[in-house]
Amino acid sequence: MKRLIFLALALFSIPMLSTAQEVQYNNSPVSAFDLSRYLGTWYEVARFDHSFERDMDNVTAEYLLRDDGMIDVINSGWKDGKYKVADGKAKQPDPAEDPAHLEVSFFLFFYNDYNVMMIDDNYQVALVGSRNPNYLWILSRTPVVPDKVLDLVLEEASGRGYDIDNLIWVDQSANIEAI
C-alpha cells in the first residue's frame, strides 16, 4: 500500500515539477487534427529517454477507438529478447477546441498529457510531446522516415525548444524485415 501511495504522489508531482520549465518549450498541439486519421499503428522512430521504455526497440503504438469514445492504446516492443506490451487508454478532454491534446493513462486513473505538436497532411509522421519537456516522440506509419521528412520534424522539435541531441533513435530492424 505504501508503494501505491508513493507512486500516486510521484505521478501527481511530475506536472508541478515541469511547470517552471514550461516557459522554455512550446509544447502546444496542432489546431487542426482528425482523430480518425490518427488511429492505427505508429512506429516509434525516436524518443527521449525515460524509464518505462528504456532499452526497448522495435516499438510500436496502436490507437483504437472504443465504442465509448475512449481510445485503447497498445504500446509494444522488445527488451532483452522479450516482447513487452503496455495496455492503456486515452481520451480527448476537449475534442472541439483542442482536438490534438489527449490524455493517456497506463495506470488506473492517472493521466498524462499527450500533445500532437506536428503532423503531416497525410498523417504519416507525427511529433508528440507533453506538458513535461522531458517527453518527446517522433512517430511514423513506417519504420523508416525519409531524411528530408525527418529533417523537418527535427527542425520543428528544435524550434519548439527541445534538445534534439537527446533523442534516442529506436532500432526498427525487426519491423523493417517484417514488411
- Band of the pLDDT at 10, cuts 50, 70, 90? very low
Stretch 129-153: mean pLDDT: 95
Stretch 53-68: mean pLDDT: 96
Stretch 95-121: mean pLDDT: 94
pLDDT of residue 81: 94
Grid cell 497498445 — which residue? Answer: 74
Q: What is the DSSP string of 4-31?
A: HHHHHHHHHHHHHHHTTTGGG---PPPS
Predicted model pTM: 0.84
Percent of the chain predicted with pLDDT > 90 = 77
State the average pLDDT for the chain: 88
Tell whether the model's pLDDT for residue 2 goes beyond 60: no
Tell whether the model's pLDDT for residue 140 goes beyond 70: yes
Q: What is the DSSP string of 134-178?
A: T-EEEEESSSS--HHHHHHHHHHHHHTT--GGGEEEPP-HHHHHH
Provide the b/e sequence for 137-151 (b: ≥16 CB within 10 Å).
bbbbebbebeeeebe
- Band of the pLDDT at 179, cuts 50, 70, 90? low
Domain 2-178: homologous superfamily in CATH: Calycin beta-barrel core domain (2.40.128.20)
Stretch 82-109: mean pLDDT: 94
